[in-house]
Structure 1
Amino acid sequence: MHITVLSVSLALVIGIVVPIVVAALVRRGDAARGKTFPMPDAVTGVLFEVRTRRWQRVLLRVIGYVMAIVGAFMTFIGAVVGFTDPDEALPFGFWIAAVLILAFGVWLVMMASALGRTRLQVWEDRLLARRGFRAERLVLLSDVARLTPYASQYGGIVAKGADGGKLFISDGLELNHDLLADHLRTRLPQVWAASFPGDARGAQR
């Protein structure tokens, strides 16, 4: 009982502390580099891109590969033991754990690939949104009727249309998220003020 309570308490502490530390380190790194609003790309006219950070994708991919290898190895060992000595076959729970570890590892690798595809290309009056394996979507800023906070550990912004449907999402941990927030506040002042009353920075953090 004490071990269970300790494990749950430790998990809760880690779940609270880790996002705070990561967000603080990211903000510190961004502040050290300084924030300058970029000039439009000479060819495409894109002002900037909001995208996931490379270390996020690398971390997920590495953990995914490790778990997939461990799961595959466990499955292989179980098959060898069961084939060579059926009387000493490993318990069913071992097989379930092996398959779950393998499947979760593959899922993490796929998530890393999805994060690599996720980005927002921002122009003055529109943006091109691509999230995960979904198709790209061109969104006019004039179509944005409401902005709401993104429900994640790091905050963010969700843009919605007049019908309440989601137009695009920007996570607070993504690279250039602050630039997007500044851009939306400048280009859509009325929408921003109505969405985040009394909060000049809105959901950047």
Structure 2
Amino acid sequence: MTIDLNDPKMAGYIPLEEIVEDDGGVAGGKVAEEVQLSVATLAFPDTGETYESPSQAIVITNTGYDQVTIYGVHVEGEFELKSSVPGSLLPGESASVNVSFKPISVGTKTGSVYFDTGNAAGDEYVTLSGTGIIAVADTKPNYTAAQIADKTHAVNTVGKVIGLTVFDTTNNRLMTASGSTDVAAWWNAIGTVSVVPA
């Protein structure tokens, strides 16, 4: 049915949209554009540096009565967006967004996911956390602390280059070469311990 606003019988008629706008965008207790997130925080399991954790889901739902536009999803910190995001959600519609943790160094990490929905009401942030740990030992060549500290050992005389990483089985830690000479120091992953071969 088409409404002719010029028809004399329609004198005083006010479209519903104008009533809603005059009422601050609220009708029947609902907001025109409103979103709800399934979680406020996500904690990821301890993950080896440079490795990636399994992803976790955040569900965003349009709880309003009008379409919500999603202008983008922004991830901060050592975390990665692992799924695509729809450009909009119809009333009652939901979308699942997956995020993973990918630490680049050892230590406690924090970050966030921000859903840019313009002027839509509701929560738009999820706080992220995780801890980067020493990478799994079997991914690197293994040497004892005594071998790493011995300038005559092959670890210091064959193929040693800046950035070469080996696993110290005595102290259960990764060590990275600071240079290519037999006496170049080895540093631990967070740069607080050095071993100078002698």
TM-score, reference length from structure 1 = 0.24
Structure having the larger proportion of residues in helix: 1
Max radius of gyration: which structure?
2
Relative to total residues, which structure has the larger strand share, 1 or 2? 2
Q: Give the TM-score, by structure 2 length.
A: 0.25
